[in-house]
Amino acid sequence: MIKEQIMMLGANGAMTIDYVDYDFGEDVPQSYSVLRAPFDEWFAGQAEAQGAMLAPGILVDELIEADGKIVGIKAGDDEIYATVVIAADGVNSFIAQKAGLRNDIDAHSVGVGAKEVIELPEQVIEDRFNLNGNEGAARVLVGCGGGVLGGGFLYTNKSSISLGVVLNPDDLACHGKSIHEIMQDLKMHPAIYPLVKDGITVEYGAHLVPEVGYHAVPKTLYRDGLIVVGDAAGMVVNTGISDLDLTPTMKLYANFHELMSNRRMVSVYPNMANEMMKVLFAVDGKLPERMDKAMLKVLKKHVTFGQMLADGWRGFKAI
């Protein structure tokens, strides 16, 4: 990704911070996008080549325990025994629950995500995002959830664009809109539509994702004969910029979710930023107001100084 962007969506406009660094095209550490469907197939092949046997489509019902040790799993009438059972069964891991390592999830600790992969010719993507060859662009979307707590993302792949939202399920339920409707509204937003138009949706997925980062990681992640990994272990911190699955990084960003659970972040500030840009750039033939006064007027319309200071401090502490 040579372009890392933050886009604040207003009702009928958008303000984008666009950081482009062509050093990212060289041999320096950078972010990149990976399409899970082909990656998972390749990865499964690698595991098989090392002697693993894949058994997809089998539901694990129970753990088998002997003398306080987990020794295998039950799937229907089948029993499979193992030296170690690795629970990688996702965010609402019933295996970790059955093993007594964590409780059921609650609506505050997860986000509900929806993502579309929209296919477009390579050249069209390069033209729309001003990219060349292997270059890519990644964009965090703020103010894209119709007022629901959460955010969105858009990034380019070689011949597709991934577009999605991750929202707070509790807040979503209170707003009376489905995540599908919010995705649809996002695709039709005048600042997003030109980027995805004429594309073909080749994948549509919805998934829960751990949202509270380090604080949601169970105190113990193992028992004799069992280890919990991945989302089952809560090992994600959703920064919006890139989802990070590394425990030390999780500690650093342990309070990041508090920033994103501030309602003003999803509605007030994106609208305020857009209104300020409008005041700055609108040409209406009238004598313009002094810029500092005009900006102050917009600011006061949306927030108090107290709120802004408090949010700034919370934001500073969260990162």
Query: With binding defined as CB under 6 A, does residue 231 bind ligand FAD?
Result: yes
Query: With binding defined as CB under 6 A, does residue 60 bind ligand FAD?
Result: yes
Shortest Cβ contact with ligand FAD: which residue?
230
Query: With binding defined as CB under 6 A, does residue 236 bind ligand FAD?
Result: yes
Q: Which is nearer to ligand FAD, 57 or 176 (CB)?
A: 57
Query: With binding defined as CB under 6 A, does residue 270 bind ligand FAD?
Result: no
Q: 210: which strand partners?
A: 110
| Least distance from ligand FAD to the Cβ atom of residue 277, Å | 28
Query: With binding defined as CB under 6 A, does residue 241 bind ligand FAD?
Result: no
Site map (CB under 6 A) of ligand FAD, residues 198-227, x = contact: ---------x-x------------------
Which residues within the stretch 115-134 sit at the binding site for ligand FAD (CB under 6 A)?
Answer: 115
Query: With binding defined as CB under 6 A, does residue 90 bind ligand FAD?
Result: yes
Determine the size of the site formed for ligand FAD (CB under 6 A): 18
Q: Which is nearer to ligand FAD, 77 or 198 (CB)?
A: 77
The one among 126, 170, 243, 311 contacting ligand FAD by CB under 6 A: 243
Query: With binding defined as CB under 6 A, does residue 230 bind ligand FAD?
Result: yes
Binding site for ligand FAD (CB under 6 A): 59-60, 88-90, 94, 113, 115, 164, 166, 207, 209, 230-232, 236, 243, 245
